[in-house]
């Protein structure tokens, strides 16, 4: 495959954009050397780069484009809204329509406020929890990789530059599925924890009773439970992982798939908490969320259209079915090559990832890079295996075949050494202290 145009564009991006991309996870350092395609268009589950290479794409837009690129009903809704104006001095009627549609799908919430990205929503939830409880500490799940670009979270990662120690010290961490550890955290900070924030699930399903136990601990300690549904929302269930697992958070944060790639996120939750961000109460007001573009009408039109499609069509069922067949096919290929332990397929069928381990079974960036390198050569662009509604049975077949060929090389690399097959440097973790 030819990458000369993408490489030239990437070099220009590096000179003009810190990190070369708007999101660290999309950075050139996250892809094999000289094989980081710059995309020019997408349709359904396929994308084309600046050199004309075509790929089946997984995890589109970091899991934001669930229905498919340029999905016609969504594009039609946006096109109908654009001539009517995009932003006004007062709320547009479509804001109410989108609110009512959202609350119909997420019945655990009484109120919702829309914003533009996940960080706005999660950070708004943290501020609201602190205001409601009068406490400063936040407990976040340390087993999960990302919650916000804001200091309260980034201060817990290796990239702490620019974040005061006083801010970093206010965020505590606990581990997923460790109720005893969370209980101990509450004991050591008795009456001081404003909020617990976590995703209901990542690659590993919760142990029986874990989520209910978190709920009970929060209730016992007067702590606000925040559920981050950025990824699980509109993948696990129409009502999110909270509906799938039968847990009711105090606040929940949605985004990504909510508008099929258009910029809409949401903070939703109990009315007695959410109303503190308004003026229909007699308590001290909370500056909750106030975004110039939160009411951007064409994005809300995309969200309404997306939610309508989820209601009318079996999007969730399709994601689970396609993902199940993909996981089974790749796992079978890995077993044939005797690398199933090195390349496990992890997660729910609706949100799969692949592991990459060396001969000793340790996670390996060089082997991850080798696998991505061989998949890109075969027309599969996959830093994850997160399927979308537009992935066809033919796409799944092609991907399984591409993995089968790539895994054959992976096995040889385990025998001969990865450096014999890897072109260029390995990919790097997004969170790292130095370049």
Does some domain include residue 115?
yes
pLDDT, tens only, 106-131 = 999 999 999 999 999 999 999 999 99
Does some domain include residue 432?
no
Do 92 and 120 belong to one domain?
A: yes
CB proximity list for 163: less than 8 A, separation 6 or greater: 151, 154, 155
pLDDT, tens only, 307-320 = 999 999 999 999 99
Do 255 and 168 belong to one domain?
A: yes
Domain that holds residue 304: 72-312
Do 203 and 128 belong to one domain?
A: yes
Do 217 and 308 belong to one domain?
A: yes
Does some domain include residue 434?
no
Strands (E), 101-238: 111-115, 137-141, 171-174, 193-198, 224-228
Q: Where does a domain end: 267, 288, 312?
A: 312
Does some domain include residue 433?
no
Model confidence at 280, pLDDT cuts 50, 70, 90, reads: confident
Indicate which CATH number applies to the domain containing 116.
3.40.640.10
pLDDT of 425 reads: 96
Does some domain include residue 93?
yes
Does some domain include residue 415?
yes
pLDDT of 142 reads: 97
% of the chain with per-residue pLDDT over 90 = 97
Alpha-carbon gap, residue 146 to 249, rounded angstroms: 19
Do 124 and 193 belong to one domain?
A: yes
> Among 32, 10, 28, which Cα is nearest to 423's?
32
Tokens in use for 22? 């708007």
Do 232 and 354 belong to one domain?
A: no
Does some domain include residue 257?
yes
Burial of 10 (0-12, 13-18, 19+ CB in 10 A): buried
Alpha-carbon gap, residue 303 to 259, rounded angstroms: 4
% of the chain with per-residue pLDDT over 70 = 100
**pLDDT over threshold 90, residue 383:** yes
Please give the average per-residue pLDDT across 5-27, as a whole number: 96
Indicate which CATH number applies to the domain containing 23.
3.90.1150.10
Do 241 and 96 belong to one domain?
A: yes
Model confidence at 185, pLDDT cuts 50, 70, 90, reads: very high
pLDDT, tens only, 210-264 = 999 999 999 999 999 999 999 999 999 999 999 999 999 999 999 999 999 999 9
Do 249 and 331 belong to one domain?
A: no
Alpha-carbon gap, residue 301 to 77, rounded angstroms: 6
Does some domain include residue 429?
no
Alpha-carbon gap, residue 197 to 230, rounded angstroms: 12
Please give the average per-residue pLDDT across 356-365, as a whole number: 97
Do 233 and 268 belong to one domain?
A: yes
Please give the average per-residue pLDDT across 184-193, as a whole number: 98
Model confidence at 281, pLDDT cuts 50, 70, 90, reads: confident
* DSSP-assigned states of every residue in 187-220: HHTTTTEEEEEE-S-SSSPPPTTHHHHHHHHHHH
The total domain count for the chain is: 2
Do 89 and 234 belong to one domain?
A: yes
**pLDDT over threshold 90, residue 337:** yes
**pLDDT over threshold 90, residue 282:** no
Do 123 and 226 belong to one domain?
A: yes
φ/ψ bin of 85: left (φ > 0), alpha (ψ from -120 to 50), beta (otherwise): left
Alpha-carbon separation of residue 430 from 23, 38, 78, 86, 236 (angstroms) = 10, 19, 33, 34, 26
pLDDT, tens only, 62-91 = 999 999 999 999 999 999 999 999 999 999
pLDDT of 145 reads: 94
Do 283 and 329 belong to one domain?
A: no
Give pTM, 2 decimals.
0.96
Q: Where does a domain end: 290, 312, 334?
A: 312
pLDDT of 19 reads: 93
Q: Where does a domain end: 253, 278, 312?
A: 312
Alpha-carbon separation of residue 215 from 248, 351, 417 (angstroms) = 8, 24, 48
Tokens in use for 382? 């996959």
φ/ψ bin of 390: left (φ > 0), alpha (ψ from -120 to 50), beta (otherwise): alpha
pLDDT of 435 reads: 85
Alpha-carbon gap, residue 187 to 337, rounded angstroms: 49
pLDDT, tens only, 17-37 = 999 999 999 999 999 999 999
């Amino acid at each position: 495959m030819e990458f000369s145009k993408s490489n030239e564009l990437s070099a220009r991006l590096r000179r003009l954009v810190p990190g070369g991309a708007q999101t660290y996870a999309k950075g050139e350092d996250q892809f094999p050397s000289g094989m980081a395609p710059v995309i020019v268009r997408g349709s359904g589950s396929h994308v084309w780069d600046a050199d004309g290479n075509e790929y089946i794409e997984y995890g589109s837009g970091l899991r934001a484009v669930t229905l498919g690129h340029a999905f016609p009903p969504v594009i039609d809704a946006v096109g109908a809204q654009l001539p009517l104006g995009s932003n006004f001095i007062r709320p547009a009627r479509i804001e109410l329509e989108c609110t009512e549609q959202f609350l119909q799908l997420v019945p655990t919430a009484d109120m919702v406020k829309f914003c533009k990205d996940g960080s706005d929503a999660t950070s708004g939830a943290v501020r609201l929890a602190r205001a409601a409880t009068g406490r400063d500490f936040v407990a976040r799940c340390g087993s999960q990789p990302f919650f916000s670009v804001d200091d309260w979270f980034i201060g817990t990662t290796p990239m702490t530059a620019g974040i005061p120690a006083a801010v970093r010290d206010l965020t505590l961490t606990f581990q997923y599925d460790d109720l005893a550890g969370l209980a101990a955290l509450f004991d050591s900070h008795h009456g001081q924890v404003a909020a617990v924030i976590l995703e209901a699930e990542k690659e590993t399903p919760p142990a029986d009773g874990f989520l209910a136990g978190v709920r009970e601990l929060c209730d016992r300690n007067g702590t606000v439970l925040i559920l981050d549904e950025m990824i699980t929302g509109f993948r696990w269930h129409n009502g999110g992982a909270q509906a799938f697992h039968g847990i009711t958070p105090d606040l929940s944060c949605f985004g990504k798939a909510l508008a099929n790639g258009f910029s809409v996120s949401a903070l939703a939750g109990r009315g007695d908490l959410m109303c503190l961000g308004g003026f229909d109460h007699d308590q001290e007001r909370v500056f909750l969320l106030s975004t110039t573009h939160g009411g951007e009408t064409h994005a809300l039109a995309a969200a309404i259209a997306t939610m309508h499609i989820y209601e009318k069509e079996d999007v969730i069922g399709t994601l689970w079915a396609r993902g199940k067949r993909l996981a089974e096919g790749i796992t079978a290929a890995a077993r044939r090559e005797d690398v199933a332990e090195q390349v496990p397929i992890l997660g729910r069928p609706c949100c799969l990832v692949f592991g990459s381990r060396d001969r000793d079974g340790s996670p390996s960036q060089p082997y991850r890079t080798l696998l991505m390198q061989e998949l890109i050569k075969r027309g599969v662009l996959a830093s994850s295996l997160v399927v979308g509604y537009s992935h066809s049975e033919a796409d799944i077949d092609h991907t399984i075949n591409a993995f089968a060929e790539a895994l054959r090389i992976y096995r040889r690399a385990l025998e001969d050494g990865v450096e014999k097959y890897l072109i260029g440097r390995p990919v790097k973790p997004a969170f790292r202290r130095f370049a």
